Amino acid sequence: MSRIFWKLSVCPPLNELPASYRYDLYDSNICVPRAAVFPEKNERLVELPDPRAARSLGRAGLLLMAAGLPSQNVIAPFVQEDPFSVGIYCAIEHGPNDFESARQMIHTPPEEFAVTYKSLRSPKQYLKQLPNVPPSQLAIFLGVMGPVNVYQHSRFGCLHALDQAEFDLNAGTVRAALVCSAFSLEDPLLSLRAWRSVPNSMVLCEGAAMMVLTPDGKYINWRAQLPPYTDRFHGIAQDLVMLARSDNDNNDRQSELAMQTSENNSYACEPAVAASASKLAYR
Amino acid sequence: MHEVVVTGYGIVSALGVGVPEFCRRMFAGDSGISGIRGALVASNFPVAVAALVPRTGLGQPRSLKNSDAGDTPTSWRFAGLATEEAMASLPSEVMVDAIVYATSDGVNFDLLKDSFRNFVVDTFDWDSTRSETCLEFIRSILEQNGNGHVPDESVISINNACVSSNQAIGIAFHRIRSGQWTRAVVGGVDARCNDHNLMNFHLLGALSTAEGSDASSPFSKNRSGFVRGEGAATLILETRQAAEARGAPVLGYVVGYSATSDAYRLTQGRTDVMGAAKAISLALEDAGCAPEQLSAISAHGTSTLINDSLETAAIKKMFGLRAYEIPVVSLKSQLGHSTVAAGAMEAVASLLMLREQKLAPTINYTHPDPDCDLDYVPNVSRPAFLNLVLSNNFGFGGQNSCVVFKRADA
């Protein structure tokens, strides 16, 4: 019972040649041979309305903000009318683990574990790992007070999110459904597993997408709508990124949407937030 | 619209493995909390207690009987045992449409440490980095039992902190009520009670600083944080029509569900309790139930200073003066807090209270708090006429989720 009211994908430029992505973690050389990532470091990926929130967000969480925050003035009428009538449906995996502290603690005796753990890890590190923190933070920034659903299936998470959004729109539980997903190469184990799950010829890409769905009186079988794989794989976010890039909207159109959001944004969010996201969308 | 019934449940908890033992100990007011220093953690560890599933006598799921328990992921053992108990009333040839399960499985600190010890790309257990493997194990149990193959798009892995398994129950309840599904396996598992996970919560200042089996004291003035728990619970939900057609026992009804978010702070609920009160209101509305019809509340009741006072305020905001007439029970006083599994375990507890027409006690309630002045069923269980029980869960990120259960013979 839905239509795509607004959408945005945030992906590295398609015309750039893939490069290998190396992790200096183990004795052996570990890398994803074909990868595409944004050149920006985490702190430069997106400007948040409250920069302190970045301390609780991994790179996928920040990418989720880049794709989701530009929807702010699009969903503002819904939120202003009834914040409980807007829901978030997010497919995202665990945030990054702190490999360095784990490496240092391999041989830590039990009696020293707590002291060592406390000295090596920030309390916020745990929040970065929790998969529901990015969509919850997005709800905080956008003022969304309806259901927040978090799906973790590494292959079908996006489909689960889309199906639940479709169901809730049909049932009248929400009037606008923010379906979103993000994937980054920040966590080596998640990245390597994702890359190993697809043919070697594919490029593992970080990316994120947001689609705002509203009721339309017709049921969408999202499984039938999923675009076929191309040469790029965005991990758990694959289906939503591909959906957000498909149809008649090319990259320019998506960027234009983001720019409009940026220019018209007057709803409790710094314009720089959307501008930064649109900058990513141009790539 | 279909009526949705519960036709099976199973539980693995600090109060015992299996519903009969859990039921007996819950109403007896036992504590599942015990000291962990010198056993699970070192003697100088800053956290003294947890609510652990007793490992002595803990069996293997039948479907893994040929596997070494040491090789079986703990979450699989817990979820498998709970699911096999729930499936006692699920004969072969009875098809299951979906599995909706809350789990926190995936990359964790232990996996990282193991990876540093011996990392070989081609032999590394990559499946251990996926959250859905425990659900796939549950699917394999169903397949072995002849309950059909649940397709991937209906194997739904949820991780939304402490509201996760309430959402798993609620999502399946709505789909079954609408007729989209006939039958689903739902629940949650948390098997992360270990040194690093305890440290994560300790560093956030969330855990109790008390050291005895009474360390979890929800709504009591002397509460100082929650006690980490672990376990799993599984429920079989289906349409009443389908249950009656196969002569399945009806253990209770699921009649209402809601989910809201606070849009406030990641680690603290709204002080105006708008999100939590709205969740309670929406769940009752979804159940078609007036506030005065509610019999009791299974509270989130974590034993943290903030949660318990805000939850009390939300109940008062929703029910007004009638709040003082509604018994409010916190199972976490006995079970600790099993985060993503808490809702499913408390769902079983709610259904048992409805079945037995008896309120479980909130144990360790010793010091009344002026901010928490409702009837918390302190320390001793008591008989009560129970028709509708509301089960609250609130979580990190400002998540609120409520489920309403109705007794079977009402």
Helix (H, G, I), strand (E, B) or coil at A7: strand
Mean pLDDT over B35-55 rounds to: 96
Residue B9 has pLDDT above 80, yes or no: yes
B161 conformational bin, left if phi > 0, alpha if psi -120 to 50, beta if neither: left
Look at residues A202, A277, A276 and name the one whose alpha carbon lies nearest to residue A36. Answer: A202
- pLDDT at res. A1: 64
Question: End-to-end CA distance of chain B, in Å?
Answer: 19
DSSP B327-363: -EE-THHHH-B-GGGHHHHHHHHHHHHHHHTEEPPBT
**Percent of chain A having pLDDT more than 90?**
67
Q: Which of residues 188-227 of B touch A (CB under 8 A)?
A: 195-196, 199-205
Minimal Cβ distance to B263: which of A143, A154, A155 = A143
Assign A137 a pLDDT band (cuts: 50, 70, 90).
very high
Helix (H, G, I), strand (E, B) or coil at A47: coil
Minimal Cβ distance to A102: which of B112, B156, B164 = B112
Minimal Cβ distance to A132: which of B111, B258, B396 = B396
SS3 content of chain A, % helix, strand, coil (to 5): 50, 20, 35
Token look-up 């076929």 returns A228
Mean pLDDT over B278-304 rounds to: 98
- Does the distance separating the beta carbons of A136 and B397 come in below 8 Å? yes
Taking only the tens place, the pLDDT of each residue in B73-101 is 999 999 999 999 999 999 999 999 999 99
For chain B, which residues make up each domain, given as ranges?
4-245, 257-406
> What is the topology classification, in CATH, of domain B257-406?
Peroxisomal Thiolase; Chain A, domain 1 (3.40.47)
Contact predicate B386/B357, CB 8 Å: yes
A189: chain B residues, CB-CB within 8 Å: 107, 111-112, 115, 126, 129
**Who wins on pLDDT, B344 or A279?**
B344
Residue A165 has pLDDT above 60, yes or no: yes
Residue A241 has pLDDT above 50, yes or no: yes
Residue A266 has pLDDT above 70, yes or no: no
- pLDDT at res. A247: 58
Give the CA radius of gyration of chain A.
19
Weakest mean pLDDT among A157-166, A257-266, B80-89: A257-266
Name the residues of B annotated as catalytic.
162, 300, 337
Mean pLDDT over A218-228 rounds to: 87
Assign A272 a pLDDT band (cuts: 50, 70, 90).
very low
DSSP A63-117: HHHHHHGGGHHHHHHHHHH-GGGEEEEEE-------HHHHHHTTT--HHHHHHHH
- pLDDT at res. B287: 98
Exposed/middle/buried for B305, CB within 10 Å: 0-12, 13-18, 19+? Answer: middle
Taking only the tens place, the pLDDT of each residue in B100-137 is 999 999 888 888 888 888 788 888 889 999 999 999 99
Contact predicate B393/B369, CB 8 Å: no
- pLDDT at res. A280: 39
Residue A249 has pLDDT above 80, yes or no: no
Longest CA–CA span in chain B (Å) reads: 64
Weakest mean pLDDT among A62-66, B72-76, B364-368: B72-76
Look at residues B308, B371, B354, B370 and name the one whose alpha carbon lies nearest to residue B5. Answer: B354
Question: What is the C-alpha separation between A240 and A208, in angstroms, rounded?
Answer: 8
- Does the distance separating the beta carbons of B180 and A167 come in below 8 Å? yes
- Does the distance separating the beta carbons of B396 and A133 come in below 8 Å? yes
**For residue B387, what are its two tokens?**
């028709």
A114: chain B residues, CB-CB within 8 Å: 41-42, 44-46, 195, 199, 202
- pLDDT at res. B122: 86
Residue B272 has pLDDT above 70, yes or no: yes
Assign B220 a pLDDT band (cuts: 50, 70, 90).
very high
Residue A7 has pLDDT above 90, yes or no: yes
Mean pLDDT over A144-168 rounds to: 97
- Does the distance separating the beta carbons of A142 and B152 come in below 8 Å? no
Q: What is the mean pLDDT of chain B?
A: 96
Minimal Cβ distance to A132: which of B116, B282, B397 = B397
Q: In the 3-class helix/strand/coil scheme, how is B195-231 assigned residue by residue?
A: HHHHHHHHHCCCECCCCCCCCCCCCECCCCCECEECE
Mean pLDDT over B153-168 rounds to: 97
Mean pLDDT over A37-63 rounds to: 95
What type of residue is B372? C
Residue A240 has pLDDT above 60, yes or no: yes
Residue A255 has pLDDT above 50, yes or no: no
Q: Is 3.40.47.10 the CATH number for B4-245?
A: yes
- pLDDT at res. B410: 57
Mean pLDDT over B211-216 rounds to: 95
- pLDDT at res. A278: 36
Look at residues B174, B230, B232 and name the one whose alpha carbon lies nearest to residue B3. Answer: B174
- Does the distance separating the beta carbons of A144 and B261 come in below 8 Å? yes
Look at residues B262, B318, B64 and name the one whose alpha carbon lies nearest to residue A141. Answer: B262
C-alpha of A175 from chain center: 22
- pLDDT at res. B372: 98
Mean pLDDT over B161-175 rounds to: 98
- Does the distance separating the beta carbons of B200 and A132 come in below 8 Å? no
B167: chain A residues, CB-CB within 8 Å: 147, 149
- pLDDT at res. B72: 85
Answer yes or no: same fold for B4-245 and B257-406.
Answer: yes
Contact predicate A122/A210, CB 8 Å: no
C-alpha of B201 from chain center: 18
- Does the distance separating the beta carbons of B117 and A30 come in below 8 Å? no
B103: chain A residues, CB-CB within 8 Å: 152
CA angle A180, B197, B102 (to 5 degrees): 45
- For B48, phi then psi, to 5°, come to -95, -25
B46 to chain A, any CB pair closer than 8 A? The answer is yes
Taking only the tens place, the pLDDT of each residue in A89-113 is 999 999 998 888 888 898 899 999 9
- pLDDT at res. A260: 35
Residue A261 has pLDDT above 50, yes or no: no
**Who wins on pLDDT, B267 or B363?**
B363
Residue A28 has pLDDT above 80, yes or no: no
**For residue B38, what are its two tokens?**
């010198």
**For residue B92, what are its two tokens?**
């072969």
Contact predicate B355/B263, CB 8 Å: no
Residue A282 has pLDDT above 70, yes or no: no
Which residue from B minimizes the CA distance to A168? B174
Taking only the tens place, the pLDDT of each residue in B371-380 is 999 999 999 9
Question: What is the C-alpha separation between A71 and B396, in angstroms, rounded?
Answer: 24
DSSP letter, residue B378: B
Beta strands in A141-270 (DSSP E): 148-151, 176-183, 203-205, 207-215, 232-233
Q: What is the ipTM of this complex?
A: 0.96
- pLDDT at res. A268: 26
DSSP B71-133: GS-HHHHHHHHHHHHHGGG--TT----EEEEEE--SS-HHHHHHHHHS--TTTS-GGGG-TTH
